[in-house]
Amino acid sequence: DTGVSQDPRHKITKRGQNVTFRCDPISEHNRLYWYRQTLGQGPEFLTYFQNEAQLEKSRLLSDRFSAERPKGSFSTLEIQRTEQGDSAMYLCASSLGRKNMNTEAFFGQGTRLTVV
Amino acid sequence: QKEVEQDPGPLSVPEGAIVSLNCTYSNSAFQYFMWYRQYSRKGPELLMYTYSSGNKEDGRFTAQVDKSSKYISLFIRDSQPSDSATYLCAMSPSGSARQLTFGSGTQLTVLP
């Protein structure tokens, strides 16, 4: 499978615990994005990497959230001290971009987080 | 008021019907317009990607953009039960996915 891969697909955690999600983008894609989608809503942008550099963060990304993309390959999204409001689908997307050129983004299957 | 408004449905049609899905938006900076299909518990799948105003056709799907009215549409001809999904419109000023603004999605069911 050469699409965007996310792991785990589902995660149930107790409030206050830390969780970490992984995203493996399409291999030649240099841009990687994290989105959050709550029930009945469209995805909302969280953060964006170009290669290993985190270039943009949404104000939705509180200080309990941290994302990394070491070596510009896979990415991780960590949520510390989870709250019930963090329950959502976390989507990763990747695209190939160069200066003044953007291509469409392809999404992974998402990680569904439930905080109990 | 949200930047992108989309009727959530649900919309239910018989197999073979023509389906019309629509979004309105308020930000005149949007230049790139997309439609994604999302099956239950799956990630969004890109269906159509268009720039500025006009029509684009791909098989049974036609996307229309009317920037003067700030209105976009997706038409599905000869709808099939496999088209049953949530359809999300999305738009961006630059074409970059970091600036995508999504609608809330329209849930479509095509009845056999």
pLDDT value, residue A101 = 61
N residues, chain A = 116
Tell me the CA distances in angstroms from A88 to A9, A40, B14, B37, one per residue in order. 12, 11, 32, 18
Most confident of A17-26, A103-112, B1-10: A17-26
**Chain A contact for B68 (CB, 8 A cutoff):** no
pLDDT value, residue B8 = 81
Query: Cβ A43–B44 below 8 Å, yes or no?
Result: yes
- Judged against a pLDDT cut of 70, whether residue A113 lies above it is answered with yes
Name which of A40, A41, A109 is nearest B43 (Cβ-Cβ): A109
- Judged against a pLDDT cut of 90, whether residue A10 lies above it is answered with yes
Tell me the average pLDDT across B77-104: 92
DSSP line for A50-64: ETTEEEEE-TTS-TT
pLDDT value, residue B94 = 82
Query: Cβ A112–B104 below 8 Å, yes or no?
Result: no
**Chain A contact for B2 (CB, 8 A cutoff):** no
List the single residue in B with minimal CA-CA distance to A43: B102
Query: Using one digit for the tens of pLDDT, what is the confidence trace for A95-108?
Result: 987 665 666 888 99
For residue B112, the distance in angstroms to the closest alpha carbon of chain A comes to 25
Q: B-chain residues within 8 Å CB-CB of A106?
A: 46
pLDDT value, residue A99 = 61
Name which of B42, B45, B96 is nearest A97 (Cβ-Cβ): B96
Query: Using one digit for the tens of pLDDT, what is the confidence trace for A21-68?
Result: 999 999 989 999 999 999 989 999 999 999 999 999 998 889 999 999
The residue written with tokens 């190939």 in the block is A96
pLDDT value, residue A1 = 53
- Judged against a pLDDT cut of 60, whether residue B37 lies above it is answered with yes
Query: Using one digit for the tens of pLDDT, what is the confidence trace for B59-87?
Result: 999 999 999 999 999 999 999 999 999 99
- Give the β-pairing of A19-24 and A31-37: unpaired
Query: Using one digit for the tens of pLDDT, what is the confidence trace for A63-96?
Result: 999 999 998 899 999 999 999 999 999 999 999 8
- Judged against a pLDDT cut of 80, whether residue B19 lies above it is answered with yes
Question: Pick from A4, A54, A49: which is nearest to A27 by CA?
Answer: A4
pLDDT value, residue A100 = 55
Question: Pick from A102, A39, A49: which is nearest to B32 by CA?
Answer: A102
Are the CB atoms for B23 and A81 separated by under 8 Å?
no
- Judged against a pLDDT cut of 70, whether residue B34 lies above it is answered with yes
Strand partners, B93: none
Angle at A11 between CA B98 and CA A39, to 5 degrees: 55
